[in-house]
Amino acid sequence: MRRFLIIFILLPLAIVVVALSVANRDLISFHLDPFGVTSPQWSLTAPLYVLLFAALALGVLTGGTATWARQRKWRHAARREHANAERLRQENERLRQHTAPARAITGPPADRDAA
Length of the chain: 115
How many CA atoms does the CB half-sphere of 2 hold within 13 Å? Answer: 0
Q: Residue 28 and residue 75: Cα distance in Å, rounded?
A: 44
What residues does each domain of the chain span?
Answer: 22-33+40-68, 71-103
pLDDT by residue (tens digit) across 57-93?
999 999 999 999 999 999 999 999 999 999 999 999 9
pTM above 0.85, yes or no: no
pLDDT by residue (tens digit) across 11-63?
888 899 889 888 888 998 888 887 767 777 888 899 988 988 899 999 999 99
Q: Tell me if 20 sits within 8 A of 52, measured CB to CB.
A: yes
Q: Residue 103 and residue 81: Cα distance in Å, rounded?
A: 32
Q: Residue 77 and residue 63: Cα distance in Å, rounded?
A: 22
